[in-house]
Chains A and B, each alone.
Chain A
Amino acid sequence: GDSVTQMEGPVTLSEEAFLTINCTYTATGYPSLFWYVQYPGEGLQLLLKATKADDKGSNKGFEATYRKETTSFHLEKGSVQVSDSAVYFCALSHRGDKIIFGKGTRLHILP
């Protein structure tokens, strides 16, 4: 079945560092890919998405490119802020309503 694998956390970085959170997927066909973010005490928010190969999703300085050849959707940001501390979930949606989430990566940014 379809699945999402993302790097284990927690990831701890200093403010203004470069961020990469790896995400790979297994799916038949051409799923849509997402990054959701969950801040402490809140529900999930869509951060960005891509619906077809080579699409780049971007939002709030974060970017991810849908790579069909490597089945990857890595999340990057050039300069992180303390306010980016949260849990990040990579996800895919392939069959109708159901979205499949990765296990989540907790990010801590130190001032």
Chain B
Amino acid sequence: DTEVTQTPKHLVMGMTNKKSLKCEQHMGHRAMYWYKQKAKKPPELMFVYSYEKLSINESVPSRFSPECPNSSLLNLHLHALQPEDSALYLCASSQGDASNEKLFFGSGTQLSVL
């Protein structure tokens, strides 16, 4: 199994809602990532978990809250989002956290905030 699975594929939420994005991989990878991608832009790193511990937070607003319950799962909890947070949210994983590691990406969750 060489897949990173993200659910849901599409999500529409209001600014007062609370929702969660989920990501799962069964490749035994020890590093997992959240990226945000706006249309026609490259992905922007949000968070990195390494061995289930948060190792990088790229100064992301607190309305985004990551969680890594175990080595296979990564969640992104969303609360009080703004319309400008609408984007494609990509999860990725890698075997370790070395600089030349291959990243495996999921297909993403397309989020619309109304």
Q: Which residues of A contact B (CB under 8 A)?
A: 31-32, 36, 41-46, 49, 51, 89, 93-99, 101-104, 106
Contacts and interface: CB of A to CB of B under 8 A. Distances in A.
Interface of B: 4, 31, 33, 40-43, 45, 48, 50, 55-56, 90, 92, 97-108
A41 B106 CA distance: 11
A99 B46 CA distance: 12
A70 to B, nearest CB: 21
**Dominant secondary structure at the A interface:** strand
A32 B100 contact: yes
Contacts of A51: 100
B109 to A, nearest CB: 10
A44 B100 contact: no
A23 B45 CA distance: 21
Contacts of B108: 42-43
A98 B56 contact: yes
